[in-house]
Amino acid sequence: MTTSTTEVLAPPTERYTVLGWLRRNLFGSIGDSILTIIAIWLTYAMLKPSLSWGFSVAKWTVIADNLKLFMVGRYPAEELWRVWVVLYLLAAVVGFTWGAWVKGKEKAGYVLLGIPVFLALLPFSPTIRMMILALDLFGFLGIILGRRDNPKFKNWSIISLLLYFPVGILLIGGLTGETGFLPTVKPDLWGGLMLTILLAVIGIIFSFPIGVALALGRQSKLPIISWFSVGVIELVRGVPLITILFMMDLMLPLFLPAEIRVEGVIRAFVAITLFSAAYMAENVRGGLQAIPRGQYEAAHALGLNGFTTMAFIILPQALKAVIPILVSQFIGLLKDTTLVMILSLFDVLGIGKSVLGNPEYVGTAKEVYVFVAALFWVLSYGLSYASQRLETSLGVGER
C-alpha cells in the first residue's frame, strides 16, 4: 500500500500578509496563543523600566560630548576626511561583493544598510548625519552594480576586497611622512570604534590563510610539517588571548634590540592573528575530516594531483561546511579586541573607561556601557545576518 502526500499551500492572504504570518507563527493554536501572550507580557515587564530609564533618567550627554573619541579616538580632526573615504570605499566594495555573490537574495542585503541609519540616530551634527547616511548610497550603488549579469564580477569582487585593506591602511596611516598630502598618523593615535574594527578585520583576513595552511600542514604526510603545525596550534590554543597580549607587551621587547620599538597596534595585530589562526586551523580541520573519502578517490580517478584535488575539490567543500563556526569565531574575535587595553591601546571600550575617569561624567557608567554594548550588538548582528544570507545562497545544509 502506497500513500502520497501533497503539501497544501495556505491562501495568499495568509502567506504574504502580516496578519497571515502572525496567525501561522504566533497564534496557530490555543497553546501558541497563550505562550505568545505570556511572552509579550514578560517582554513588556522587562522593557518598561529600561525604556523609562533610557528616555527620562539617562544622561546621554556623556556620549554626545565624547562621540569623536568613541568613534576614532585621538585621530587628528584635520585628517578625518581620510576615515570617511575609507568608509565610503568599504560600503561600495561590500555592496558590490554582496550583489555579485548573493544572487537572488539581494533584497535581504538591504537590511545591512540599516546599520548607517542606526548610527545616524546618534547625537551627531546634521552634517555628520548626512555623511553617515551617504554610506547607504555608496552601498546601494555597489549592490546595483554587482547585480549586473557579468561572470567576471565575482573575480573582481575578490580582487577589490584584497586591494581594499592595504589601500585603507595606507589612507588611515599615511604615506608622505610628517608633511604632504597624506601625512603619517602614528598608530598610537588610532582608537575608538575605528581601532576595534581594524583589529577585527585584519585579524580575520590574516588569520584565515594562516589557519588554512596550519590545518593542511597538520594533515600532511611529511612529519616535520605535521609536527610543526601541531606544535603551533596546540601551543597557541593552550593559553588565553590575554596571555599572548601580555607576552607581546612585556616579553617581546626583551628579544629585540633596544633601538627597535614595535608599535602597540602592530603587536596587537600579531597577537590577535596568531590566536585566531590556531582556532581557525582546528575549525578547518573539522571541515576537511567531514569530506567523504570518495571525493579524494574520484579526484584521483580523474587524474588530478594532490594540490589540484585539495585546492579545487576538497577545500572548497570543507570551507563551505564550516561557514557557521567560522562566523561565530569572527564574532568572538570582534569582542576579544577589547583586551588590547593591556597594550595601552584605547579601543571603543577603553575610550569608555577613560571617559568615565573624567570627574565631569561621574555616575554615567550605565550610559557608556549601554552605548558600547549597542555598537557591538549592531556589528555582531550584521556579521551573523550576512553569514546566514551567504549560507542560504551557497545552499549550506542542503542536499
Q: For 56-75, how does the pLDDT look when each residue is reduced to its tens digit (9 = 90+)? A: 888 889 998 898 899 999 99
pLDDT level of residue 397 (50, 70, 90 thresholds): low
pTM for this prediction? 0.81
Neighbours of 36 (CB within 10 A): 15
CB–CB of 356/368 below 8 Å? yes
Q: What is the mean pLDDT of the chain?
A: 85
Average pLDDT over residues 325-335: 90
Q: For 254-269, how does the pLDDT look when each residue is reduced to its tens digit (9 = 90+)? A: 888 877 888 888 889 9
Predicted pLDDT at 273 = 93
CB–CB of 282/234 below 8 Å? no
Give whole-number Cα distances, 216 to 262, 282, 297, 324, in Å: 31, 10, 18, 20
Q: For 199-220, how does the pLDDT look when each residue is reduced to its tens digit (9 = 90+)? A: 998 888 899 999 999 999 998 8
Quote the cell numbers at residue 48. Answer: 518598561
Q: For 169-194, how does the pLDDT look when each residue is reduced to its tens digit (9 = 90+)? A: 889 998 877 777 889 998 888 999 99
**Burial (Cβ within 10 Å: 0-12, 13-18, ≥19) of residue 7:** exposed
Furthest-apart CA pair in the chain: how many Å? 86
Predicted pLDDT at 13 = 52
CATH 1.10.3720.10 for domain 217-399: yes
End-to-end CA distance of the chain: 28
On the question of pLDDT at 122 being above 80, the answer is no
pLDDT level of residue 2 (50, 70, 90 thresholds): very low
Residue identified by cell 490555543 is 30
3-state percent breakdown (helix, strand, coil) of the chain, nearest 5: 75, 0, 20
On the question of pLDDT at 15 being above 60, the answer is no
Predicted pLDDT at 107 = 53
Q: For 233-258, how does the pLDDT look when each residue is reduced to its tens digit (9 = 90+)? A: 999 999 999 999 988 888 888 888 87
Predicted pLDDT at 5 = 47
Q: Is residue 347 helix, strand or coil? A: strand
Give the start-to-end residue ranges of the domains of the chain: 76-184, 217-399
On the question of pLDDT at 105 being above 60, the answer is no
